[in-house]
Structure 1
Amino acid sequence: MNTTKIALVTGANKGIGKEIARQLGQAGFTVLVGSRDLARGELAVKELVAEGIDAIRIQLEVTDEKSVRSAAEWIETAYGRLDVLVNNAAIIPAGDDAVSEVGIGVLREAFETNVLGLVSVTQAMLPLLSRAERARVVNMSTSLASFAQVGDPESRMSTVLTLGYNSSKAAVNMVTVMLANELRGTGILVNAADPGNCATDMGGWDAARTPEEGAAVAVRLATLGPDGPTGEVYAEEGRLLW
């Protein structure tokens, strides 16, 4: 029986997702690098393998139900279980804007990937997670989903006008809490991670935090012990008020 823990990270071909995969690999996991683009996924895997990490490319487009099902079937055949799921894949769609300006199609695009895609992947992987001894689910969130911070006119978060991203990530927080409630007592812990604004394609390359710093909180939540929290949102400084 293979005792190495198996982790799937969606959107792991670059940025914070790749760094989460790297850190989980360094912790001894076999890491499944989820990527909708096969070529980019292969490049990421080559980089990780060259560092001594047991990384495997898996094609996964979270908005494509057939792709999601195929990924779950492949994991079932190859490993029979899944120990960690990190729902990292997300977008800030072009044209995301203030409530009075944003196009409905832009909102739909944000929710399609950030919420519906996340739920689709989670549903497909739950049977595999249930076979692990102590499975963990980590959903990537953001301070921009915090009602406490965005609602504070003194906070920088109140000035970021991306309704699609902010509101879809707020929905991710609710998915996190509801799934945690549903799975209480099963040994599966479900939490959300706020990596902060990191120097990536999404965060902007002038951001103060590195992908390595941003990934750390997600990795901590992915490796919680049996007495760890569930149904919470955490940033580097601790539990996030949202």
Structure 2
Amino acid sequence: MVEKIAVVTGASKGLGLAIVKGLCQRFDGIVYLTARSEKNGLEAVKKLNDLGLKPSFHQLDISDDKSVKIFADFIKTKHSGFDVLVNNAAILEWDEVYPTYEAAKRNIDINYRSLLTIEKYLFPLLRDGARVVNISSACGHLSNLKKQSWIQTLQSPDLTREQINDFVVEYLESVKNGTFDKNDFADEGKHAEHRVSKIALTALTRVQQREYADRNISINAVHPGHMKTEMAQGGGEVEPEQSAELVLYLILDASQKLKGTFMWHNRTLIDWDDAEADFACKDLW
């Protein structure tokens, strides 16, 4: 019998580490803790080893095409495929509420464009019936946008990656050429770069699900809640272990029929298309 394989990105701390911990306790198979820093990754593995848990480690820089390919080649050679993927790795630079072009691009490259690289190399290795969870946030709901042309495009049931990429580029160009308009976003456009990257991630989730449905692969996005992590300015409200339970639910307990959804931290399924709803990030600074 083929052994099941789970992969979690950005897993050396916070939510990623909590997800790996939960999988090691409940998943019947090998769990790969991946991280950009080998040092941090191995330290995280040791923490779990001290608890009697035995994750495997592999270095993975999701923003580096070569690193993702090396990891994919490793999975293909050693396991031929895998069954669970949690795209957790992300950044948010709190000191730039209205970021420079370089900072905005950095956020989008890691939080969104890296998923395209992961899809290119790792999705072909997903086994039939696999489960993928993309970690979004309240910033990933469509109500973070106010510009109607963006909203209408992203609401399309026939949305394409090219249209998502165009949306991202249009925002980045506005920052680059000085035409950025706070009124295009909720909450005066604070950290618009993070809103754009997470909206793009959530939109991509829907596109991916539509394309991989014939293999019974479940791909969902989640808002894990305002966690007490390094990324949470001023401290979050919930522990990473609590948020990890939502992700573990989607991986281990939820119906395989749950596909292409946007799940709130309380396990409510949110209508992502409702741009008039009150789900946008507030006071994000």
Deviations along 1:198-232, whole A, 9 cap, x unmatched?
00000146311100111111121222555431111
Q: CA RMSD in A?
A: 2.0
**CA shift for structure 1 position 78:** 1.7
Deviations along 1:30-77, whole A, 9 cap, x unmatched?
211110100100011111223232301110001110000000111112
Map of 1:241 onto structure 2: 271
Map of 2:36 onto structure 1: 36
1:166 aligns with 2:195: yes
Map of 2:93 onto structure 1: 93
Check the 8 A contact 1:10/1:88 in 2, yes or no.
Answer: yes
SS of residue matched to 1:174 = helix
- Provide structure 2 residue ranges, at least 5 long, that are not aligned to the other structure: 147-185, 273-285
Deviations along 1:102-143, whole A, 9 cap, x unmatched?
3111111111101111221122111210xx242011100001
1:215 aligns with 2:244: yes
Code of the aligned partner of 2:230: D
1:197 aligns with 2:226: yes
What does residue range 137-156 of structure 1 map to in structure 2 within 5 Å?
137-148=132-143
- Tell me how far apart the structure 1 counterparts of residues 54 and 227 of structure 2 sit (CA, whole Å): 25
**CA shift for structure 1 position 91:** 0.5
Task: Identify if the C-alpha distance between structure 1 residues 159 and 20 changes in structure 2 by more than 3 Å, giving closer, same or farther.
Answer: farther
Task: Identify if the C-alpha distance between structure 1 residues 223 and 123 changes in structure 2 by more than 3 Å, giving closer, same or farther.
Answer: farther
Map of 1:57 onto structure 2: 57
- Report the number of matched residues: 231
Task: Identify if the C-alpha distance between structure 1 residues 51 and 150 changes in structure 2 by more than 3 Å, giving closer, same or farther.
Answer: farther
- Tell me how far apart the structure 2 counterparts of residues 187 and 53 of structure 1 sit (CA, whole Å): 30
TM-score, normalised to structure 2's length? Answer: 0.76
Task: Identify if the C-alpha distance between structure 1 residues 202 and 68 changes in structure 2 by more than 3 Å, giving closer, same or farther.
Answer: same
Which of the two has greater helix per residue?
2
SS of residue matched to 1:53 = coil
SS of residue matched to 1:223 = helix
Map of 1:154 onto structure 2: none
**CA shift for structure 1 position 241:** 3.3
Check the 8 A contact 1:7/1:82 in 2, yes or no.
Answer: yes
TM-score, normalised to structure 1's length? Answer: 0.88
Map of 2:22 onto structure 1: 23
SS of residue matched to 2:215 = coil
- Tell me how far apart the structure 2 counterparts of residues 206 and 93 of structure 1 sit (CA, whole Å): 15
- Tell me how far apart the structure 1 counterparts of residues 196 and 240 of structure 2 sit (CA, whole Å): 23
Check the 8 A contact 1:94/1:106 in 2, yes or no.
Answer: no
| Bigger Rg, structure 1 or 2 | 2
Code of the aligned partner of 2:79: Y
Check the 8 A contact 2:84/2:132 in 1, yes or no.
Answer: yes
Task: Identify if the C-alpha distance between structure 1 residues 198 and 102 changes in structure 2 by more than 3 Å, giving closer, same or farther.
Answer: same
Map of 2:158 onto structure 1: none
Query: Percent same amino acid at aligned positions?
Result: 30
Greater shift after overlay, 117-126 or 188-197?
117-126
Map of 1:112 onto structure 2: 109
Task: Identify if the C-alpha distance between structure 1 residues 30 and 204 changes in structure 2 by more than 3 Å, giving closer, same or farther.
Answer: farther
